[in-house]
Amino acid sequence: MAVETPTAATEAPRRGPRGPLRRPRLRRHGSETVAAWLFLLPSLVGFLVFTAGPVVAAGVISLLDWNLFSPPHFIGLDNFARLGPDTTFWSALGNTAYFTFVSVPLTLLVSLGLAVLLNQGLRRMAVFRSLLLLPYATITVAVAFVWVWLYIPHDGLINAVLGAFGIDGPAWLISDDWAMPALILMSVWKSFGFGMVIFLAGLQAIPQQLYEAARVDGASPWRTFRAVTLPLLSPSVFFTVITSIIGSFQVFDQALVMTDGGPGTSTTTLVMYIYRTGFQNYEQGYAAAQSMVLFAFIVVITAAQFLLQRRLVHYDL
Amino acid sequence: MSSSFSRRALLKGAALGGLATTGALSGCASGPPPGTATWSMWSSSPEENRVWADFGRYVERRMHIRSASTLTPSDSYPTKLDLQLVSGTAGMVTALNGWLIPTYASRGAHRPLDDLIAADPDFDLDDFYPAIRSISSFAGHTYAIGFDVAPTVLYYNRTLLERNGVDPPSPTEPMSWDTFRDLAVELSEPKDQYGFTCAPSIDDLVSWIYCAGGDVVDGDRGTSPLDAPEALEAIHYVVDLFVKDRATPPIDNLAQSASGAALANFLQGNVAFMQNGPWQVLNVREAPFTWDVVPFPAGPAGSTPRVSGSSFAIPSGVRGDDLELAWRLLKTLTSTGALDIYARAGRNNPARLSAASAFEPPPANLGIVQRILKGEVAGGHPFNVTTNWNRVRLLLGQDLPRAFLGQVSVRDAIDGVMPRLNALMRQHRDAVRQAA
């Protein structure tokens, strides 16, 4: 140390990284930071104005009695208290949960199955991949109209096919029991392409040596899938589950076009009920309270998944 | 180094340029210049767009100012109008479907026009059919001026009737319900041919209820007479046509627009009768068969189906010089000249008596529409709605179709909705009292 001190004073400019080079690097970091913020700014402004802002605004509106046209009145938590006895709200929440917890696992299974199939080195895989991605790339409303035709009870294509096998098809969209499964089936068909592409990318990132090692160890295909594929695919699965659940809780278009929430309220989803409360019943405060509850549900479920991912998701080989 | 610097500079420049463009574009979105005649209307097809473009040109010609219309598809029009009214970006004149006038009037979204009418000796309110004046009023005040009005009529497929050896119905005398039912059942043979089509919704059902002497709304008493014997008789009659007689095409789904599904069925050519308004005449002209219209079947209270109409109104936020301009614009949009354009295009029967001659055949018996409105033939019942009709419609739209599907009895369906319907009627009563 005694030797170093005078040397440090005199030779500081030549000491390399800790000396004179630090300032240019800081300058460079500074300018990169500015550039990064500039690039982030449009997205950040968009997020603040169109996402965070409305969430805060909805929180404030949920405390008001406001019919859009008359001046709003502060009513505290009254709108939240109304939720308790509102059977339609709970029915809509139940329908949404039913839709989510059936459609998301089904979509994941179909996506994963197809991704595994496509990962077998099939010829013309790009063609298959594009074809299978097509439903996801189409507009939900347009697809929903096509499915309305498919589901026509007396001469729709689905019941015609079932009839060819001697099966008397259900009344689908006009049946209390079958309307929601019909929506789920359509949604699975519409959405599996997204998960499939994510899973396919995840599968192609798994090193082949691991499969070779499993083969050398005599592991069966199922054992290999469980011990190698699934753990290494878990980040993709986690991402797909999170985005699918959030999307499913917000289901609206297909229910509006295909059933208008009926028969009765059997396919009325929460977002549909929020829309109707706010823009058909003119109860903006109550609609905002419902949307805050939906927001809380999504936050809780997403937080729970993030907690679970520490045990179930493997980011390292 | 210099290439790295220029790349970074380029990227920074691109980012700054993007921000500047965004700012410039947002600055441009400031709406039409002051003094422009702005108005809102629904429009769902190129043909409708053309009619409203003609309206715009007519306004510019007559008022010597620029006309700027905001056209929105009819399904999303009310929501867009709500947001425009709240944000102060609505036109100075807005079109309103008649059944929404009490909703907007009771919430103070539009202003009464009585003072403007009283101060304008040139404006002749008597030139408008009484039905549209009633539809455009709320709590004793005129809130809008009509541009169309028409009773529900019965369309029939003349080709199908002739093929089945059935004489066309009288062009002026309404059929009785019994006669109509017998015909509908008779014409529901062979397979895939149907006697009648209408929407399984309150919008169509209400015509039968009026003809039976019933109603959905009973003034501001706070209860609905939907469970009264008259209304129940009407609902049973129509539901039986669907469920017992199987005289209607099967219901495929519950989400299609009310009159749209009935129209699609009728245009297939295998349905004898369709309940609908003359606003569908333009679409039915495309049909590959001969057809015409006759008065609605007469029930115990006669032939008094729903009479509907649409109007133009002025939002409450329009004041000062804009109000004077808005009133001139509203008068121009509902003038005989403008309604001539509307009627000549076949859109619907014009709301003014002086424009009536412009709504011309085909079909041959189209003149029945104006004769019904004048009380010369059959009759009509102005669509009687509440200040929360959206909610009433939604409630009945959820629960009544089960009866049309045969899933529940009419009695059970009505009993199921009555408590919630009466709650909405009480809410309506309170809104009317508050407005008064």
Please tell me the predicted confidence (pLDDT) of residue B6: 62
Q: Which amino acid is at A15?
A: R
Please tell me the predicted confidence (pLDDT) of residue A290: 97
User: Are residue A34 and residue A113 in the same domain, yes or no?
Assistant: no
Closest CA to A104 of A36, A184, A159, A28: A184
Domain annotation covers residue A9:
yes
Please tell me the predicted confidence (pLDDT) of residue A312: 79
Chain A residue closest in CA terms to B22: A42
Please tell me the predicted confidence (pLDDT) of residue A90: 95
Overall domain count for chain A: 2
- Whole-number Å distance between alpha carbons of B421 and B426: 9
ipTM for the whole complex: 0.81
CATH of the domain at A103: 1.10.3720.10
The CATH number assigned to the domain with range B153-304+386-435 reads 3.40.190.10
> Does the pLDDT at position B403 exceed 90?
yes
Domain annotation covers residue A274:
yes
User: Are residue A121 and residue A238 in the same domain, yes or no?
Assistant: yes
- Whole-number Å distance between alpha carbons of B261 and B401: 14
- The predicted model gives B18-42 an average pLDDT of 73
User: Are residue A56 and residue A101 in the same domain, yes or no?
Assistant: no
Cβ within 8 Å, pair B85-A256: no
User: Are residue A172 and residue A299 in the same domain, yes or no?
Assistant: yes
> Does the pLDDT at position B3 exceed 50?
no
User: Are residue A50 and residue A85 in the same domain, yes or no?
Assistant: no
Domain annotation covers residue A72:
no
User: Are residue A152 and residue A268 in the same domain, yes or no?
Assistant: yes
CA distances from A72 to A68, B87, B123, B272, B423 (A): 8, 14, 37, 52, 23
> Does the pLDDT at position B223 exceed 50?
yes
Chain A residue closest in CA terms to B85: A69
Report the SS3 class of residue B307: strand
- SS3 breakdown of chain A: % helix, strand, coil, rounded to 5? 75, 0, 25
CB B352 within 8 A of CB B128: yes
Output the six-digit token pair for B414: 């009505």
Please tell me the predicted confidence (pLDDT) of residue B219: 80
pLDDT digits (tens, 9 = 90+) for B324-378: 999 999 999 999 999 999 999 999 999 999 999 999 999 999 999 999 999 999 9
Closest CA to B393 of B217, B135, B188, B249: B217
For A258, which of B15, B108, B255 is closest by C-beta distance?
A: B255
Domain annotation covers residue A67:
no
Residues of B in contact with A173 (CB under 8 A): 252-255
Output the six-digit token pair for A123: 């010829």
**Inter-chain Cβ pairs, chain A and chain B, closer than 8 A:** 97
For B402, which of A42, A148, A263 is closest by C-beta distance?
A: A263
pLDDT digits (tens, 9 = 90+) for B275-334: 999 999 999 998 999 999 999 999 999 999 999 999 999 999 999 989 999 999 999 999
Please tell me the predicted confidence (pLDDT) of residue B75: 86
Percent of chain B with pLDDT over 70: 92
Chain B residue closest in CA terms to A262: B398
Cβ within 8 Å, pair B253-A173: yes
Please tell me the predicted confidence (pLDDT) of residue B125: 95
**Burial letters A25-63, b for 16+ CB under 10 A, else e:** eeeeeeeeeeeeebeeeeeeeeeeeeeeeeeeebeebbb
pLDDT digits (tens, 9 = 90+) for B103-144: 999 999 999 999 999 999 999 999 999 999 999 999 999 999
| A166 shares contact with chain B (CB less than 8 Å) | no
**Burial letters B218-242, b for 16+ CB under 10 A, else e:** eebebebbbbbebbbbbbbbbbebb
User: Are residue A139 and residue A213 in the same domain, yes or no?
Assistant: yes
User: Are residue A40 and residue A147 in the same domain, yes or no?
Assistant: no
Cβ within 8 Å, pair A262-B252: no
- Whole-number Å distance between alpha carbons of B81 and B73: 11
Please tell me the predicted confidence (pLDDT) of residue B399: 86
| A260 shares contact with chain B (CB less than 8 Å) | yes
Residues of A in contact with B87 (CB under 8 A): none
Domain annotation covers residue A75:
no
User: Are residue A159 and residue A14 in the same domain, yes or no?
Assistant: no
- For A12, half-sphere exposure in the C-beta direction (CA atoms, 13 angstrom radius) is 8
Residues of A in contact with B388 (CB under 8 A): 281
Residues of A in contact with B4 (CB under 8 A): none
Q: Structurally, what CATH architecture does the domain formed by B37-150+308-373 represent?
A: 3-Layer(aba) Sandwich (3.40)
Q: Which domain holds residue A259?
A: 80-312
- Whole-number Å distance between alpha carbons of B237 and B217: 20
Residues of A in contact with B406 (CB under 8 A): none
Please tell me the predicted confidence (pLDDT) of residue B259: 58
Measured from the Cβ of residue B53, the count of other Cβ atoms closer than 10 Å reads 14
Asked which of A95-99, B55-59, B188-192 is least confident by mean pLDDT, the reply is B188-192
Place of tokens 């969430």: A55
Chain B residue closest in CA terms to A46: B22
Higher pLDDT, B25 or A113: A113
Measured from the Cβ of residue A121, the count of other Cβ atoms closer than 10 Å reads 6
Distance from CA of A175 to the nearest CA of B (A): 9
Residues of B in contact with A256 (CB under 8 A): 255
Measured from the Cβ of residue B217, the count of other Cβ atoms closer than 10 Å reads 22
> Does the pLDDT at position B44 exceed 80?
yes
Q: Which of A280, A284, A286 to mutate to test the interface with B (most CBs of B within 10 A)?
A: A280
User: Are residue A90 and residue A200 in the same domain, yes or no?
Assistant: yes
- Name the pTM for this structure: 0.85
Domain annotation covers residue A96:
yes
Chain A residue closest in CA terms to B77: A279
Please tell me the predicted confidence (pLDDT) of residue B149: 98
Cβ within 8 Å, pair B12-A42: no
* Tens digits of pLDDT across chain A (317 residues): 333 444 444 344 444 444 444 555 556 678 889 999 999 999 999 999 999 999 999 999 999 999 888 889 999 999 999 999 999 999 999 999 999 999 999 999 999 999 999 988 777 888 888 899 999 999 999 999 999 999 999 889 999 999 999 999 999 999 999 999 999 999 999 999 999 999 999 999 999 999 999 999 999 999 999 999 999 999 999 999 999 999 999 999 999 999 999 898 999 999 999 999 999 889 999 999 999 999 999 999 999 988 988 887 877 66
User: Are residue A97 and residue A48 in the same domain, yes or no?
Assistant: no
CB B247 within 8 A of CB B184: yes
Distance from CA of A130 to the nearest CA of B (A): 32
- Whole-number Å distance between alpha carbons of B100 and B308: 11
Give span(s): CATH 3.40.190.10, chain B: 37-150+308-373, 153-304+386-435
Asked which of A66-70, A217-221, B226-230, B270-274 is least confident by mean pLDDT, the reply is A66-70
Closest CA to A250 of A204, A218, A284, A291: A291
Output the six-digit token pair for A282: 């003119």
Place of tokens 């058909």: A280
Cβ within 8 Å, pair B107-A256: no
Place of tokens 């199921």: B416
Please tell me the predicted confidence (pLDDT) of residue A9: 40
Mark out the alpha helices in B196-257 (DSSP H runs): 202-211, 229-243
User: Are residue A33 and residue A85 in the same domain, yes or no?
Assistant: no
Residues of A in contact with B22 (CB under 8 A): 42
- The predicted model gives B385-399 an average pLDDT of 92
| A123 shares contact with chain B (CB less than 8 Å) | no
